[in-house]
Amino acid sequence: TKHVAVLTSGGDAPGMNACIRAIVLSCERAGYRVSGFLRGYNGLLEPDRITLTAERMHNLIQQGGTILHSARCERFCEEDGLKLAARHLNEAEVDTLIVIGGDGSFHGAHALKAHWQGQIIGLPGTIDNDVDGTDATIGYYTAIETAVNSIDKVRDTADAFDRVFVVEVMGRHAGFLGLSAALASASDFVIVPELFSEAQATLAQIRQQIMQRQQRRGPVSYVIVLSEHVWPGGVTRLCEEVSDITGLEARPVTLGHVQRGGSPVSQDRILAVKLGTHAVSLVGKDVTDIMVGISSGAVVNVPLQTTWQKQKTLGEDARATALCLMNQRYQD
């Protein structure tokens, strides 16, 4: 019988548990043994492995986080680490290793290929949606929902006090989470890596919009969504600069790690089940070093390398959508 092992690596994301569950249940149905390595690639090095059973999967689909825990692992980036991992996989007689993680984790999985003969399959799990070769990643939809719920609340207090708020959201170096959260919360302005070019011009735009609204309607509230790693000096600096040019107090809100937690929304659960069951259907087939993703509604296999060779960024329509968002409140 086949032995399938699964691990979760890199930034944790809601829906990773739903994916583990789908893998374990599919393996049981196929008659495969299934285990989990703990704390990402660390579990391969120590080694630290647990047996996963269908009973353990009860009540799991809705739980955030990952029962296998996640972590970064520097030693896995070195050759001796990869060789040690290969030895432990062989000792445990693992046939297929399924890695749920982001593009960094896929780099690792691909590097392992040079030292281990078993089958390697990656599944995209990250709130950033920054993995090329798949339209969506497990955790992305939940993170949007979490950010939107928080921004709605910020909006309430912003309106009550006629204040300016800058809300910083995650996303690594991509604007998927930032733009989606801004659109769904009808924020007033959005700053994401793909659409940002120059700080002074952006500040001038913000100032002009706030001034126009003040002239028309008196005191205003204004919510800006800012992607992490974009603004020189960060969210606090942006608030200072907005205050300087408008004379209004601007408050920073950093959503931070709340975006990584929480019960997964249905879309993430469904995606996790689709990708997890498909991965198990590939066990023993002549396909390895791949990621299973979703493209135009269909489950696809792509070589792991495609997931990081090109930086995945917002589509062509992003600028027009963002402009619509930024203008909407000035035409009322």
* Residue 10 lies near ligand ATP (rule: CB under 6 A): yes
What residues does 225 pair with on adjacent strands?
Answer: 167, 190
From the centroid of its chain, how far is CA 130? 7
CB of 111 or CB of 304, closer to ligand ATP: 111
What is the DSSP code string of 257-279?
GGGG-SPPPHHHHHHHHHHHHHH
Residue with tokens 């919009």: 209
Q: Which of 8, 96, 105, 288 binds ligand ATP (CB under 6 A)?
A: 105
- Can you read off the two tokens belonging to residue 161? 């006090």
| 321-324: long-range pairs with CB below 8 Å, 24+ | 321/179, 321/183, 322/179, 322/182, 322/183, 322/190, 322/192, 322/195
Are 101 and 292 contacting, i.e. CB atoms less than 8 angstroms apart? Answer: no
Q: Which of 2, 33, 56, 72 binds ligand ATP (CB under 6 A)?
A: 72
* Residue 194 lies near ligand ATP (rule: CB under 6 A): no
Residue 48: Cβ within 10 Å count: 15
Q: Which of 66, 126, 150, 227 binds ligand ATP (CB under 6 A)?
A: 126
Q: Which of 73, 98, 100, 195 binds ligand ATP (CB under 6 A)?
A: 73
Are 158 and 165 contacting, i.e. CB atoms less than 8 angstroms apart? Answer: yes
Task: Give the integer Cα–Cα distance in Å for 310 and 25.
Answer: 34
Residue with tokens 């126009």: 212
Q: Which of 28, 30, 63, 104 binds ligand ATP (CB under 6 A)?
A: 104
Task: Give the integer Cα–Cα distance in Å for 130 and 176.
Answer: 8
CB of 21 or CB of 260, closer to ligand ATP: 260
Q: Which of 23, 96, 128, 151 binds ligand ATP (CB under 6 A)?
A: 128
CB of 172 or CB of 329, closer to ligand ATP: 172
Q: At its nearest, how many Å lie between ligand ATP and the CB of residue 107?
A: 4
Q: Which of 28, 48, 67, 77 binds ligand ATP (CB under 6 A)?
A: 77
- The yes-or-no answer on residue 128 being catalytic is yes
The one catalytic residue in 128, 132, 188, 268 is: 128
Are 143 and 312 contacting, i.e. CB atoms less than 8 angstroms apart? Answer: no
* Residue 312 lies near ligand ATP (rule: CB under 6 A): no
- The region of 101-109, 202-210, 224-232, 266-274 touching ligand ATP under the rule CB under 6 A is 101-109
Sort 263 into a burial class: Cβ within 10 Å, 0-12 / 13-18 / 19+: middle
CB of 125 or CB of 276, closer to ligand ATP: 125
Q: Which of 21, 107, 251, 312 binds ligand ATP (CB under 6 A)?
A: 107
* Residue 175 lies near ligand ATP (rule: CB under 6 A): no
Strands (E) in the chain, as ranges, are: 3-8, 33-37, 49-51, 96-101, 119-124, 164-169, 189-191, 222-227, 250-254, 290-295, 298-303
Q: At its nearest, how many Å lie between ligand ATP and the CB of residue 131?
A: 8
Q: Residue count at the site for ligand ATP (CB under 6 A)?
A: 19
* Residue 172 lies near ligand ATP (rule: CB under 6 A): yes
Task: Give the integer Cα–Cα distance in Å for 292 and 275.
Answer: 6
| Chain residue whose CB lies nearest ligand ATP | 104
CB of 18 or CB of 164, closer to ligand ATP: 18
Instruction: Give the residues lining the site for ligand ATP (CB under 6 A).
Output: 9-11, 41, 72-73, 76-77, 101-105, 107-108, 111, 126, 128, 172
Q: Which residues are catalytic?
A: 128
